Amino acid sequence: MANRNELVTRDESYGSSSEEEEDDRHVQVEVGYTEVESDEASSEEEEAVEVDEENDDDEEDDEDEDDEEDEDEDEPRLKYTRIVDLPPTLFSSDPLSCFLAHEQFLVFATHGGTLHVTTPDLKSIRTYRAHSASILSLSTDGTVIASASLDGRVVIASVTDAKDISASDFLRPVHAVSLDPNFQTTRTFVSGGTACSLIMSEKGWLGRQSDTTLFHGEGPIDATDWTGDIIIAMNDSGIHLYHAPTRSRISRIARPKDAPRADLYRPRISWISPTKVLVGWAYAIWIIKVIKTGDSTPALVSERKSEVETILSIDGLVSGVLKYDDESLLILTYNPPPPPSEDTTRPLALTPEIRLVSPTSGEEFSADQLSLRGYERLGANDYHLGVWNGTKNLDRKFYVLSARDGVVATERDENDKFDWLIEKKKYEEAWEMSQTLVDNTRRRDIGIRWIESLIDAENWREAGTVLKRVLGATPIPPASDNDEEESDLEKTLREEWERWAWVFVTGGHVTDIANYLPVSSPELSSVIYEMVLGYYLTNDKEQMYKFLDKWPSEIYDAKSIIVSMESKLKEEDDRKLRQNIAKLYVSIGNPNAAILHLLHIQDPAAIDLIRDQHLLLSMLPSIPEILTINLTFEELESAPVSVIRQKSAEAVDLVVEGRLELLPEKVVEQVIKSGMEVMAFLYLERLKDIDGFAAQGFADLQVNLYAEYDRPKLLDFLKKSNSYNFEQASEICERREYIPELVYLLGKTGQNKKALMLTINRLQDVDQAITFAKSQDDKDLWTDLLDYSMDKPKFIRALLEQAGTAIDPITLVKRINEGMHIEGLKPAIQRILHEYELTLSIAHGAAMILNSEVDGYSEQLRCGRARGVKFEVDDVEQFKSSDTLIKFACGHLFSERGLLTRNGSAGEDEDVWLGGGVPTLIKSVAQKVTHLAFIREKLRSKDCPTCAEERAKSRI
Residues 6+ apart with CB under 8 A from 872: none
The predicted model gives 630-658 an average pLDDT of 92
Per-residue pLDDT of 530-575, as tens digits, reads 999 999 999 999 999 999 999 999 999 999 999 999 999 988 889 9
874-930 pLDDT, tens digit per residue, is 777 777 766 777 777 777 888 877 777 766 655 544 445 544 444 555 567 677 777
Q: How many CB atoms lie within 10 A of CB 774?
A: 15
CA distance 609 to 651: 12
CA dihedral 893, 894, 900, 901 (to 10 degrees): -130
Average pLDDT over residues 71-90: 84
Q: Characterise 810 by phi-psi region: left (phi > 0), alpha (psi -120 to 50), beta (else).
A: alpha
pLDDT in tens, 212-235: 999 888 889 999 999 988 999 999
User: How much is the mean pLDDT over the chain?
Assistant: 82
Would the pLDDT of 938 be above 80?
A: no
Nearest Cα to Cα of residue 420 among 407, 434, 404, 406: 434
Count of alpha carbons within 13 angstroms of residue 856, beta-carbon side: 6
Contact 466, 451 (CB under 8 A): yes
Reference 903, options 953, 942, 956, 951; nearest CA is 942
Helical packing angle, 526-539 and 488-506, nearest 10°: 30
Q: How confident is the model at residue 826 (pLDDT cuts 50, 70, 90)?
A: confident
**Dist. CA 272–CA 274, nearest whole Å:** 7
Residue 908's pLDDT is: 47
Q: What is the pLDDT of residue 915?
A: 47
Q: How high is the pLDDT of residue 906?
A: 55
User: How many residues are recorded in the chain?
Assistant: 956
Residues 489-499 as b/e (b if ≥16 CB within 10 A, e otherwise) read: bbebbbebbbe
Amino acid, res. 794: K
pLDDT digit string, tens, across residues 618-633: 999 999 999 999 999 8
- C-alpha–C-alpha distance, residues 387 and 238, integer Å: 26
Model confidence band, residue 42 (pLDDT cutoffs 50, 70, 90):
very low
Please write down the HEC assignment for all residues of 276-330: EEEEEECCEEEEEEEEECCCCCCCCHHHEEEEEEEEEECCCEEEEEEEEECCEEE
- The torsion angles phi and psi of 186, rounded to 5 degrees, stand at -90, -25
How many C-beta neighbours within 10 Å does residue 849 have?
10
Kind plus residue range of the DSSP H or E element containing 82: strand 78-82
According to DSSP, the β-strands at 328-334 and 353-357 are: antiparallel
DSSP single-letter state for residue 815: T
Cβ distance 1 to 316 under 8 Å? no
Q: What confidence score (pLDDT) does residue 435 get? A: 87
Residue 12 pLDDT > 60, yes or no? no
Distance CA 491, CA 494 (A): 5
Q: In this prediction, what percent of the chain has a pLDDT beyond 70? A: 79
Phi, psi dihedrals of residue 327, rounded to the nearest 5°: -110, -5
Contact 375, 30 (CB under 8 A): no
Quote the CA–CA distance of 319 and 266 in Å, as a whole number. Answer: 8
Tell me the C-alpha distance between 156 and 203, whole Å. 12
Dump pLDDT digits (tens) for 154-174: 999 999 999 999 999 999 999
The strand order across the sheet containing 165-169 reads 135-140, 144-149, 153-158, 165-169
Say what the pLDDT of residue 905 is: 58
Q: What is the pTM of this model?
A: 0.60
Distant-in-sequence, close-in-space partners of 828: CB < 8 Å, separation ≥ 6: 797, 800, 801
Q: Which residues fall within 8 angstroms of residue 342, CB to CB, at 6 or more apart?
A: none
Kind of pairing, strands 106-110 and 174-179? Answer: unpaired
pLDDT per position as a tens digit, 838-883: 888 898 899 999 998 898 888 887 776 666 667 777 777 777 766 7
What pLDDT is attached to residue 151? 95
More confident residue, 138 or 10: 138
Among 387-396, 776-785, 870-879, 923-932, which stretch is predicted with the lowest mean pLDDT? Answer: 776-785
Contacts of 390 (CB under 8 A, 6+ apart): 396, 397
- On whether the CB atoms of residues 121 and 81 are closer than 8 A, the answer is no
Q: What is the pLDDT of residue 868?
A: 63
> Could you give the CA distance from residue 427 to residue 261 in angstroms, rounded to a whole number?
49
Per-residue model confidence as pLDDT tens digits over 450-470? 999 999 999 999 999 999 999
Task: Report whether pLDDT(789) > 60.
Answer: yes
Angle formed by the axes of helices 726-736 and 739-748, nearest 10° = 150
DSSP string, 184-210: HHH-EEEEEETT-EEEEEEE-TTS-EE
Residue 248 or 955, more confident:
248
- Reduced 3-state DSSP string for 601-631: CCCCHHHHHHHHHCCCHHHHHHHHHHHCCCC
pLDDT at 32: 34
